[in-house]
Amino acid sequence: MARGGYRKPNNPAPVSGPGALSRRTDGGAGSKQAMKEIRTGKYGESKAIMEQQQGAPMAGSPAPSPRVATPKITGLFDTTQRPEEPVTAGMPFGPGSNSMKPAFDPNAELVDFKAKYLRSLQDVALLPSAPQSFKRFVSYLESFNQ
C-alpha cells in the first residue's frame, strides 16, 4: 500500500477549510452520500471499492418533509364555527336539516327476509299438510310493508 506523499481528499472534503474556504463535509442535504474509504487487508481492494463508489453514488438521506399545519380544534366552550346552522341540524326534530336516517331500522331485517324467502315460504304454505300457524305467518309476511 502506498504511504506518504500527497493524498487527494475525498469528495466531499474530509475537513472544512477556514472562512471563505469552508466547504460542507457532509455531502450536502439530499445529495449523494459521501464515499467511504474501506480499508481491507488485500492489495488494491480499497481502490477498487472507491472506484465502485464513484461509479454508483448512493442516494442521500431523504429531505425532511415540511410539517402540515393541523386545523385548530374547536373547544367545547368556544363560540360556534357555524353561526348560520341551528343546533338541531341533523336531528329528526327542530329547525335545520333533519334528513338524517335513524341509525337502526328495526324493520330492515324483516324487509330483507321477505325479499329473500317469501316465494319459497309461499310454496311450502301451499302444501295441504302445512299447519295453519305457518300459513298465518306467510300471510302476515305477504302483507308486511315497512
Partner 1 sequence: MKSAWSKNTFFDNFNTFVNHLGYDKAPVAFGLAMADWTDTDERDKFLFEITGRKVGEPSNVKKS
112 makes contact with partner 1 (CB under 8 A): yes
Footprint of partner 1 on 24-53 (CB under 8 A): none
- The verdict on 142 binding partner 1 (CB under 8 A) reads no
**Residue with grid cell 488485500, as numbered in its chain:** 42
Residue/partner pairs of 61-68 with CB below 8 Å, 24 or more apart: 61/30, 61/33, 62/30, 63/29, 63/30
Q: Kindly tell me which of 6 and 140 has the beta carbon lying closer to partner 1.
A: 140
Q: Is 130 in the site for partner 1 (CB under 8 A)?
A: yes
Bond preceding residue 12 cis, omega within 30 of 0: yes
Place of cell 481502490: 47
Give the interface with partner 1 as residue ranges (CB under 8 A): 106-107, 109-110, 112-113, 117, 123-124, 127, 129-131, 133-134, 137, 140-141, 144
